[in-house]
């Protein structure tokens, strides 16, 4: 498990639009829950650079004996003009069939750009889940877990 947060640069994160919150390791429910609960929304959403960084991080730590995937939970759309655009993300991050890393996206707010999340997920043979209606978030997580 690896966990990160992403937005534009902030006072706490002045040099990068994303940060590692939980290092890549075996899943630990308490650590994961604590880190999620401690996240605070701030800045603009840097979706594309974060997807690229997470994908590359997983490639650098690829383990063929494990499930290698990125789960992106977002309430927004890409709002970071200094980053890469969608076409470049999909073109530059050619997904390697020899080292597959599926990207799963969960849109959980009305402002989420589900169409773009779906394109990113499909490019990696992953899946996007529409939970823009808060009543559907539990169902999205059940579907996500059953995708592994």
Written as six digits, the tokens of 22 are: 């939980």
**Residue 95, domain extent:** 3-146
pLDDT above 70 for 3? no
CATH number of the domain that 137 lies in? 3.40.50.410
Structural domains in the chain (count): 1
Q: What is the mean pLDDT of residues 83-87?
A: 82
3-state secondary structure of 148: coil
Q: What is the DSSP letter of 135?
A: G
pTM value?
0.74
Backbone phi, then psi, for 71, in 5-degree steps? -115, 120
* Contact predicate 126/104, CB 8 Å: yes
Question: Which among 12-26, 37-51, 110-124 has the top mean pLDDT?
Answer: 110-124
Query: With 0-12 CB in 10 A as exposed, 13-18 as middle and 19+ as buried, what is 122?
Result: middle
Dist. CA 120–CA 126, nearest whole Å: 8
* Contact predicate 90/119, CB 8 Å: yes
Q: Which of the pair, 1 or 35, is modelled with greater confidence?
A: 35
- Which of the residue ranges 11-15, 65-69, 94-98, 130-134 would you say has the lowest mean pLDDT? 11-15
Predicted local confidence at residue 118, as pLDDT = 94
Q: Which of 118, 122, 116 is nearest to 95 (CA)?
A: 122
């Amino acid at each position: 498990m690896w966990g990160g947060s992403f937005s534009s640069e902030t006072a706490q994160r002045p040099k990068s639009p994303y940060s590692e919150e939980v290092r890549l390791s075996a899943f630990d429910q308490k650590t994961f829950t604590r880190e999620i609960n401690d996240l605070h929304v701030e800045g603009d959403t840097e979706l594309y650079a974060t997807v690229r960084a997470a994908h590359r991080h997983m490639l650098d730590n690829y383990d063929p004996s494990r499930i290698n995937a990125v789960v992106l939970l977002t309430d927004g759309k890409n709002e970071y003009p200094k980053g890469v655009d969608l076409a470049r993300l999909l073109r530059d991050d050619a997904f390697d069939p020899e080292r597959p890393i599926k990207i799963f996206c969960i849109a959980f707010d009305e402002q989420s750009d589900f169409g773009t999340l779906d394109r990113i997920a499909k490019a990696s043979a992953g899946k996007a889940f529409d939970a823009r209606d808060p009543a559907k978030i539990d169902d999205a997580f059940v579907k996500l877990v059953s995708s592994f």
